[in-house]
Amino acid sequence: MTAEEGNGVKKERERRRITSTERSALLRYAAALSIWTEPGCEEFLKSLPYGGRDLETVRRVTYRIWQNAMAAIDKDQLRQILMNVEAASVTVGITRMRAAEHASKYGQFITHAAAAALTEAAAEKCSMCMLDRNGARRCELRAALDEMNIVDTAENSSVCKYRMF
């Protein structure tokens, strides 16, 4: 404890400039604080066992974090941030996954009937295939069969594993 603090004089924290990334994150944090005051959310949480108490604890802690952050920011930047806080908002929604993202995350599903039909079609086309090695690498049917992994074959051809199955 310094002599100034011992005399009841509070020493101001050292303030620093923040980056644009930190500034953006603080604005999102300020906007997110408003979620705890949403009527629907507040009513629901207070209806849960200990919900009202826990909600107040969360509010107190998040407000204390906000105050500490504001006390650490350069005064010029702080003025700018406080002007922007009023206009800050957070949008919460559901994003849809693209088909490729879904397939890579959850895998692809195919019925047995569809797999049988594809295997039969591939067997017919691949048994008569006359592509060279480069052509086989660019073959769309081969790429689809590899991606679907529905045909169980061993490498039995130096050109394409589906050529004679």
pLDDT at residue 92 in the model = 66
Q: What is the pLDDT of residues 150-160, one digit of tens each?
A: 666 655 566 77
- Structure tokens belonging to residue 29: 């944090």
Question: Across-strand partners of 73?
Answer: 16
Q: What is the pLDDT of residue 28?
A: 79
Compute the Cα dihedral for 52, 53, 54, 59 and give only its sign. positive
CB 142 within 8 A of CB 162: yes
Question: Rounded distance, CA 151 to CA 116, Å?
Answer: 9
Three-state DSSP at 3 gives helix
Q: Is 155 left (phi over 0), alpha (psi -120 to 50) or beta?
A: beta
Residue 124 has pLDDT above 90, yes or no: no
pLDDT value for 42: 82
